[in-house]
């Protein structure tokens, strides 16, 4: 079979025309896409209005006034808990809320009695020794004095009658008896002082024993703690969130629990450190109690801790502990320990231009928005002010009535052509927001 050259040429021309048509359609489509029809991009009309910046925090209700339940300071030493009322128990005035193990106090009492008996025995022994030594040393002194008097009376001094050796012996005897009398007198005085010192040491030991007995008696009297008034017992929690328990050791003066007064409550909430800018006393807040939908309570920021702290051991997240004063308290529906969610109004400005946060982009190190101008969007540098989670205040660069894009228009062109848009901007993934 033989091909006709004319048909071959006409077929190639037909294919060329078809390829040219397809290329024309692609170019026209590219031109349409590059024109960025505003109808293809969601927009936002800039209008003056009120800007509100709020922050949220979670926490619990707490009584403004509460009677603390403290470990007794009379013991002066750690004590073990033998009984403890359950957390949240309703107690009446005089009810037992805590008891301590009496073993240490009774052992201390027994040791005090033994020490007191030993001290009294030491005092008695010192008195007996003092009386005996006094009699013995007094007798020695009196004998020495009599011998000295006899030696002085019969001292040999006449060298015509007595020999030289006899006279010398007589003088030596007199001196010896004088020394004996002096030593006996000093022994008597020293013995009395030693006996008095030993007796005084015994009295000191007795005083220490009585002090130990007093502490033991006070410990025994303070083993039982009762509720000072009617209320709900709230056990105290340590830095790990743990409450005291039976068998736990507490120190004198350590807080074990509290019985709050339900007539006035406050909210203690924790605000993230990143959201704490501008948090200060006097700000308005609202408090919602978990489990009570629809109930919102007005409050005011009363205190803000100056330093952010972690809530739990090992957690790197830091919070500002904030105390909210409630405008009113309803004892029927509000109890200490209930979990709450608070919303604190940090900033409120009227008649400002605020745009959605998603309409703000970063391009070449500047913050820009894409403002519609005719049939396309143009990047406009802006100056921003206050910011909330969803909105940003624009202080310069926009005017009321401007319409801006809610997404980066160049992102669409980049997806279609895989390169730079007509303004020379890189794709949105590279430019960043």
Per-residue model confidence as pLDDT tens digits over 328-365: 988 888 888 889 999 999 888 888 888 888 888 888 88
Average pLDDT over the chain, rounded to whole?
A: 80
pLDDT band at 319 (very low <50, low <70, confident <90, very high): very high
Condensed to tens digits (0 to 9), the pLDDT of residues 170-222 reads 778 777 777 877 777 777 777 667 777 777 888 888 888 888 888 888 888 88
93 shares a domain with 238: yes
236 shares a domain with 161: no
Check if the beta carbon of residue 355 is closer than 8 Å to that of residue 392: yes
Res 14: pLDDT: 65
Domain count, the chain: 3
pLDDT band at 425 (very low <50, low <70, confident <90, very high): very low
Beta-sheet pairing, 296-304 with 284-289:
antiparallel
240 shares a domain with 132: no
Query: Which domain range does residue 84 map to?
Result: 72-100+225-259
* Average pLDDT of span 157-172: 73
* Average pLDDT of span 32-43: 57
CATH assignment at residue 413: 2.40.420.20
214 shares a domain with 115: yes
234 shares a domain with 125: no
pLDDT band at 97 (very low <50, low <70, confident <90, very high): very high
132 shares a domain with 199: yes
Res 20: pLDDT: 63
Res 34: pLDDT: 45
165 shares a domain with 82: no
CATH assignment at residue 83: 2.40.50.100
Q: pLDDT > 70: what percent of the chain?
A: 83
Residue 83 belongs to some domain of the structure = yes
Of 206, 237, 259, at which residue does a domain stop? 259
Res 10: pLDDT: 56
171 shares a domain with 145: yes
pLDDT band at 29 (very low <50, low <70, confident <90, very high): very low
Condensed to tens digits (0 to 9), the pLDDT of residues 119-149 reads 888 888 877 877 777 777 777 777 777 777 7
Of 193, 221, 249, at which residue does a domain stop? 221
Res 386: pLDDT: 79
pTM: 0.53
Of 221, 243, 276, at which residue does a domain stop? 221
């Amino acid at each position: 079979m033989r091909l006709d050259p004319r048909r071959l040429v006409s077929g190639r021309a037909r294919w060329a025309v078809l390829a040219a048509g397809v290329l024309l359609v692609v170019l026209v489509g590219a031109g349409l896409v590059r024109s960025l029809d505003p109808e293809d991009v969601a927009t936002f009309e800039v209008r003056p209005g009120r800007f509100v910046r709020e922050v949220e925090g979670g926490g619990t209700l707490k009584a403004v006034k509460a009677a603390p339940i403290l470990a007794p300071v009379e013991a002066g030493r750690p004590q073990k808990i033998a009984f403890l009322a359950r957390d949240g128990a309703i107690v009446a005035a005089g009810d037992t809320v805590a008891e301590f193990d009496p073993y240490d106090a009774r052992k201390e009492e027994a040791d005090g009695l033994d020490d007191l008996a030993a001290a009294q025995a030491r005092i008695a022994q010192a008195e007996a020794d003092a009386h005996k030594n006094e009699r013995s040393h007094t007798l020695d002194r009196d004998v020495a004095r009599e011998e000295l008097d006899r030696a002085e009376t019969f001292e040999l001094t006449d060298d015509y009658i007595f020999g030289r050796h006899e006279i010398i012996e007589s003088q030596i005897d007199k001196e010896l008896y004088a020394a004996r009398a002096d030593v006996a007198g000093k022994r008597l005085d020293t013995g009395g002082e030693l006996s008095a010192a030993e007796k005084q040491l015994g009295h000191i030991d007795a005083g220490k024993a009585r002090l130990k007995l007093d502490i033991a008696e006070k410990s025994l009297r303070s083993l039982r703690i009762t509720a000072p008034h009617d209320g709900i017992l709230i056990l105290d929690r340590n830095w790990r969130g743990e409450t005291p328990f039976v068998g736990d050791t507490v120190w004198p003066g350590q807080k074990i629990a509290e019985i709050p007064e339900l007539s006035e409550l406050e909210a203690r909430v924790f605000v993230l450190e990143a959201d704490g800018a501008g948090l200060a006393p006097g700000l308005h807040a609202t408090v919602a109690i978990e489990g009570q939908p629809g109930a919102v309570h007005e409050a005011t920021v009363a205190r803000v801790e100056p330093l952010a702290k972690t809530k739990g051991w090992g957690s790197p997240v830091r919070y500002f502990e904030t105390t909210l004063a409630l405008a009113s308290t309803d004892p029927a529906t509000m109890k200490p320990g209930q979990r709450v969610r608070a919303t604190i109004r940090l900033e409120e400005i009227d008649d400002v231009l605020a745009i959605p946060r998603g309409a703000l982009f970063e391009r070449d190190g500047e913050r820009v928005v894409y403002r519609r101008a005719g049939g396309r969007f143009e990047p406009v540098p802006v100056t921003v002010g206050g910011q909330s989670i969803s909105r940003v205040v624009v202080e310069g660069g926009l005017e009321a009535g401007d319409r801006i894009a809610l997404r980066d228009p160049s992102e669409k062109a980049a997806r279609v052509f895989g390169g730079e848009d007509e303004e020379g901007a890189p794709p949105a993934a590279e430019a960043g927001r």
